[in-house]
A and B are shown apart, each in its own frame.
Chain A
Amino acid sequence: MTNVSDIATVILMIFGSFFFFAGTVGLLRFPDVHCRLHALSKADNIGLGFIAMGLMLQAESIPASLKILAIWLIALIASALTCFLLANWEIGDD
């Protein structure tokens, strides 16, 4: 049982790291603000989501894993907000 969740954690973390890696590459390589935002928000939302899922499997209790879930949800809100603000600022219609 422990083994199954350990393996799942490793796989989820690898997925998460991949999205962060891809997001960072996108941030550095993409040409303009909107493309970069697209790359960044992918890393923030999906990458962090996979990593949070992986950590939730390792949490010692259900409340602890729910707290990790809450961190992901709050990060989602913040990421969506900053993405909107930056995109609007770029268009110049704030």
Chain B
Amino acid sequence: MTDGIGLYDLLLGAALVGATWRALFGREPFGATVFFIAYGLLLSLMWVQLGAPDVALAEASIGAGLTGALLLGGIRQFERDDLLHAARGINRQNIFAGLLSFSLAATIILVLWDIRFFTDGISNLVRENQDTSGSSHPVTSVLLNFRGFDTWLELCVLLLAALAASIVRIANRNKLPKLSVQIPNKQITMIARTLLPILILIAGIMLWFGARAPGGAFQAGALLGAAGILLQLASQNVIPERSSWAFRVVLALGVATFTIVATSTILMGRNLLDFPPDWAGTLIFLIEVAATMSIALTLNVVYASNAPTGNVKAPQ
């Protein structure tokens, strides 16, 4: 993180643009996805260069890892679907999507142009109020205290995504392949057994240290989610029945905890999500634990939304 742009930054930038190009204009879906994953990893290196390890961790775990797994799962499912290959070329849908992306990009550029003079942003404000936030890591303070509302809404979006994925699965249930008597892959099963404890341990570390170092609910949730997806790949049915209480409670845990905390702050006569400084640390930790569980389950629900139906027995 030295000042100025070095050779390494230039190479990284060039590789990033190259990977983006191949991801967008690759000939076939599988190759494009591989470049999308490479793009995510390069992007997270870029975030490290910019001094934002929190974003780098989130990008590497969610952007590259889990989104990549989702895309690969989607390709495996729809490999022989003409729609996947017919999407290129110019048609009405593509033009519409292009216009939307273009206006989004234009808006972002306008906003960035507007704030170019505020070189400090809110960093001074955050630093001055750090002591009352209940966390010694500025990113955690912003995400869960000062701008807790945004994180609350993010969790709502995730909940909606999980519900949408479940609904799509129900709507498509007749088209989904029935699980044949497929023997789970030996290597994946073995590796799942080896990696599972490590993933859970690192998720716990991420969650616990999120209060004072890079990490937190999203990174921990992504790792737990990855552990679940590994189990799914090893053909273990890890997701409880979608109508069960356990499933519903864990899925809604993040949003519910946020809602309960927000309501209590109002009942105490404070503003919405205005944590009392003495309690802030505890409340942030509670919310992070709840959010981690919900995020992990959400990612697994989305990943499993086009998995074959039925159960497989683990190899003996």
Q: How many B residues touch A, CB cutoff 8 Å?
A: 7
A13 to B308 CA separation, bound complex (whole angstroms): 46
A84 to B185 CA separation, bound complex (whole angstroms): 11
A77 to B187 CA separation, bound complex (whole angstroms): 11
Q: How many A residues touch B, CB cutoff 8 Å?
A: 8
Main secondary structure of the interface of B (DSSP, over half): helix
Q: A74-B198, A77-B194, A81-B188 are in contact. List 12 more A-B contacts (CB 8 A).
A: A74-B195, A77-B191, A77-B195, A78-B191, A81-B187, A81-B191, A84-B187, A85-B185, A85-B187, A85-B188, A88-B187, A94-B185
A-contact bits for B266-308, CB 8 A (1 contact / 0 none): 0000000000000000000000000000000000000000000
* Nearest CB on A from B109, distance (A): 37
Which A residues are in CB contact (< 8 Å) with B191? 77-78, 81
A:43-94 near B, CB below 8 Å = 74, 77-78, 81, 84-85, 88, 94
A84 to B190 CA separation, bound complex (whole angstroms): 12
Look across to chain B and name the residue whose beta carbon is closest to the beta carbon of A87: B187
- Could you list which residues of chain B lie within 8 angstroms of chain A, going by C-beta atoms? 185, 187-188, 191, 194-195, 198
- Could you list which residues of chain A lie within 8 angstroms of chain B, going by C-beta atoms? 74, 77-78, 81, 84-85, 88, 94
Which B residues are in CB contact (< 8 Å) with A74? 195, 198
Most buried by B among A78, A81, A85, A88: A81
A85 to B187 CA separation, bound complex (whole angstroms): 7
* Nearest CB on B from A27, distance (A): 14
A84 to B191 CA separation, bound complex (whole angstroms): 11
Which B residues are in CB contact (< 8 Å) with A88? 187
* Nearest CB on B from A67, distance (A): 10
Look across to chain A and name the residue whose beta carbon is closest to the beta carbon of B194: A77
Which A residues are in CB contact (< 8 Å) with B187? 81, 84-85, 88
A88 to B185 CA separation, bound complex (whole angstroms): 10
A78 to B191 CA separation, bound complex (whole angstroms): 8
A88 to B183 CA separation, bound complex (whole angstroms): 14
* Nearest CB on B from A26, distance (A): 19
Q: Would you mind naming 15 contact pairs between A and B with Cβ atoms under 8 Å apart?
A: A74-B195, A74-B198, A77-B191, A77-B194, A77-B195, A78-B191, A81-B187, A81-B188, A81-B191, A84-B187, A85-B185, A85-B187, A85-B188, A88-B187, A94-B185
* Nearest CB on B from A7, distance (A): 23
A74 to B195 CA separation, bound complex (whole angstroms): 8
